[in-house]
Amino acid sequence: MIKIRRDAEIHRVDGEWFSARWHFSFDTYSDPENDSFGAMRVFNDDRLIPGGIWPLHPHRDVEGLTYVVDGLFRHEDNVGGAPGPLPAGSVQRMTLGAGAWHSEQNASETEPMRFIQIWILPDTPSLPPAVEQRAFTQEDRTNRLLKVIGPEGGDVVKVHQDAAVYVASLAPGIAVTHAIGAGRGAYVYLIGGEASVDDEVLATGDAAKVTDQPPLRIRGRAPSELILVDVPMQFEPVGIWAGRV
């Protein structure tokens, strides 16, 4: 089953120093029909003005995942963090298990910055706070679904849940496939361009919830950038989420 979410249907919020699309309930925004997607609790498409900073703020029992779309992403936290700004194509995981403070920042004073932020609910409560990050190039993801985050770690950034994140940069006419296991779902977001998800056409800013489906076929109809999050639809919430989702 594929449920399409058009760009105009996704909640938008604008501030003096940021703009964002919040796909699921977040902060002051509540949407009972889009409160989460399996083990994914948050999916935000955020933009910061030059020099823009999300102030330090706390979370618990969350795997905070970041994918840098454009610009230079800088991270700050109260547990030692990770040095240096991250360029476009990079990913980061911050384990906010036992509790930590962190800040997302635009490292450029002259150019805007755009990043996707995802919360995955972990399989273990109160994990020690930690940060892991890795830079990937556009060539790495050109005309393929590139796995950048997964539970196995190693060549990808590790997440403490049976979940994975893939990114792709597709030329027109190029198709990729993704197998969706039993009891799992895929959330596909078109960062830019135009692509088909099976028989459904997505334009920039559109998303698709995919469940109960054999291998999914994604085909570029124009030069396109996309991100796919694969998660278990049924899982055991732990820590502060136990009994809440």
Q: What is the pLDDT of residues 128-140, one digit of tens each?
A: 999 999 999 999 9
pLDDT at 206: 98
Residue with tokens 């699309």: 21
Does the predicted TM-score (pTM) go above 0.85? yes
Q: Does position 199 have pLDDT exceeding 80, yes or no? A: yes
The residue segments making up the domain with residue 83 are 2-241
Those residues whose C-beta lies under 8 Å from the C-beta of residue 28, and which sit 6 or more positions away, are none
Read off the CATH number of the domain in which 235 is found. Answer: 2.60.120.10
Instruction: Tokens for 125, please give them.
Output: 């409560």
- Whether the Cβ atoms of residue 216 and residue 177 lie closer than 8 Å to each other: yes
- Other C-beta atoms closer than 10 Å to the C-beta of 88 total 19
What is the rounded distance in angstroms from the CA atom of residue 47 to the CA atom of residue 210?
26
- Whether the Cβ atoms of residue 123 and residue 160 lie closer than 8 Å to each other: yes
- Other C-beta atoms closer than 10 Å to the C-beta of 240 total 15
- Strands 175-178 and 194-197: what pairing? unpaired
**How many structural domains comprise the chain?**
1
Query: pLDDT tens-digit profile of 163-178?
Result: 999 999 999 999 999 9
